[in-house]
Structures are given as structure tokens and as C-alpha cells.
Amino acid sequence: MRIGVFPGTFDPVTEGHLDIIRRSQKVLDRVVVAVAAAYHKKTLFDLEERKAMLQSSLSETEGVEVVSFDGLLIDFAKQHKASAIIRGLRFISDFEYEFQLALMNRRMNRDIETLFFMPSARFSYLNSSVIKEVVRLGGDVNGLVPDAVIQAMKDRFKS
């Protein structure tokens, strides 16, 4: 069974993330979405909220498991018997950082490959920070994040 791990903070999950998950299913038998604890970032949503939003967004998607993790991604991937780490590349600026991570992960475990996916063109400019800022300022992000995520962000920004 070919298992891939798709890591991220998913704060919040976007349609770009979901696009990569669904497209990675075409080359993998199972995808483990690894929601990072992200102690190095100030997140809008806590770990359990981010995990719940992903589970809700993927509830009708078979072959996908959403779990949280802390620590080295390569160790997490090995624990889940993954043969691949899934990463998205939007722009050339993403490449240098992702390339460094892929090489370090390969150094730590040569049995786990990194698979890079370019987003669908309609999501290529998306990132969670932009989504949060647009919603915070009252803008429309319909079609860019799941509806439940839009409502959760609106509720959070009211507080």
C-alpha cells in the first residue's frame, strides 16, 4: 500500500489544500493529513479546531485520515509506514525552502520520497494568511475555503 503524508498547519484549511489532497490520491492508496501542532506560529485556531475543520471538509473522501502530530515529520511518516511526503509548490519562492526540507528528510530516511504537487491554477495564489486577512477585513472568500471554515473565521474575528 502506497501511503503519503501531507503535513501542514492548515490554519485554516483552504480549497488549495483539499485540491492537493484529492489529486495526491490519484498516485497514492492512502493519504494521512498531518496537522502540525505549530508551536512556532501563532495560529488563529487551536490544534483540535484545525483538525476538526479538516475532518469535516474531508468527511466524504475515502482513503484519507486526519491526525495531529508534533516532532519531526520524517519520524511521523515512518510511524505511519508512509513512502512519500506530499508538498505543494505555488511559486518559485516556495521551491527553495521545500527543496531544503526534502533533502534533509531524504538524508534522515532514504526510503521516504517527497512528492511535489503544483496547485490547480485557480488556487495557485492561495495561502491561509491571505484568507485570514481577507475575512478579517470583511472580504469574500467563498469558493476558496469550505463554508464551515468561513463561518468559523467570521465567528473568531467577532471575538
Nearest to 57 by CA among 25, 30, 33, 76: 33
Q: What is the dihedral of CA 44, 104, 58, 63, to 10 degrees?
A: -160
For residue 143, give the DSSP letter: T
Query: What cell does 156 get?
Result: 473568531
Q: Catalytic positions, please?
A: 17, 41, 90, 128
Please say whether the dihedral angle defined by the alpha carbons of residues 152, 154, 155 and 157, taken in this order, is positive or negative.
positive
What whole-number distance in Å separates Cα of residue 72 and Cα of residue 46? Answer: 20
What whole-number distance in Å separates Cα of residue 16 and Cα of residue 39? Answer: 23
**Distance of alpha carbon 6 from the chain centroid:** 6
- Paired with 7 in beta bridges are 34
Q: Read off φ and ψ for residue 77, nearest 5 degrees.
A: -60, -45
